[in-house]
Amino acid sequence: MTAPRSKLFLPANRLDRLDEALRAGADAISFDLEDAIAEAEKTAARDALAMRLRQTRLHGQVWVRVNAADSGHIVQDLLALQGTHVDVVNLPKAESPADVDFVHRWLDHLEAASGAVPGQRFAIVPTIETPRGLRLAADIAAASPRVVALQLGAGDLRRATGMASGGPGMAVLRTLINLAAAEARLPALDSTAADILDAEVFEADALAACALGLQGKSCMHAAHVAIANRVFGQRGAQ
């Protein structure tokens, strides 16, 4: 899988915004079943997303951020993907190779049930956003042949460690994620910048990530997609 220069998040309960999101031109659309969805709305959001993704094959990469391995929702999230046009399962808060292996085995079952050869449909991208996950990031990257990249989840890591947003700690986190991914010969993708709206500040943040070897960035705002495409596209052209 080609590492997406830009990945635009869309809450699974806001499918009414899908056309607008697609017009932004992101390399990947990531439908969010996790943080963006309140507990009481998770089942309805999951069902609506699964129906839409069975009916439609979207242009570009289609990602689904499922709930974490210990959430109590992940099995239903994965079962809902059967028969959908989904390329990547984004596993948040990955803390061990066992978390990845759990998802891998469920995807094997889904593919076998649909008549596909196990391992040929769904990829996995773990998000590293806890201290334990960061410590085991290289093992997580190597936990399954389905893993095609590592994703940095800086917000939770900053909160867990007391690092300031935009401070020198971000360079440390980005470097560690890139080294762990590189050991497995995989790309590393940068975190969202949920607290950044200003386009110039976002571009500076993206350039900092690109300079440390990361190959793409998650976007919370459609206006940031073109910036990420330009910044990380220049990296790819070098």
Q: Among 232, 161, 219, which residue's Cα sits nearest to residue 191?
A: 219
Please indicate, yes or no, if residue 212 is contained in any of the structural domains: yes
- C-alpha distances (whole Å) from 64 to each of 158, 211, 220 are 24, 28, 15
Instruction: Band the pLDDT of 236: cuts 50, 70, 90.
Output: low
Q: Does residue 217 lie within any of the structural domains? A: yes
pLDDT in tens, 103-126: 999 999 999 887 766 656 899 999
Residue 161 sits in which domain range?
6-237
Question: For residue 1, is it within any domain?
Answer: no
> Amino acid identity of 108?
D
- What percent of the chain clears pLDDT 90, i.e. is strictly above it? 81
The pLDDT, as a whole number, for residue 165 is: 75
Residue 59's pLDDT band (boundaries 50, 70, 90)? Answer: confident
pLDDT confidence tier of residue 195, bands split at 50, 70 and 90: confident
Does 235 have pLDDT greater than 80? no
Backbone angles phi, psi at 30, to 5 degrees: -115, 110
Question: 42 pLDDT exceeds 90?
Answer: yes
Does residue 22 lie in a domain region? yes
Residue 104 sits in a domain whose CATH number is 3.20.20.60
Specify the pLDDT at position 197. Answer: 84
Residue 231's pLDDT band, with cuts at 50, 70 and 90, is: very high
| Residue 226, in any domain of the structure | yes
What pLDDT does residue 167 have?
A: 77
Residue 211 within any structural domain of the chain = yes
Residue 117 falls inside a structural domain: yes
Looking at the structure of the chain, the number of domains it has is: 1
Amino acid identity of residue 115, one-letter, is G
Phi and psi for 215 in degrees, rounded to 5? -110, 0
User: Order of strands, edge to edge, in the sheet holding 6-11?
Assistant: 188-189, 150-152, 123-128, 88-91, 61-65, 28-32, 6-11, 217-219
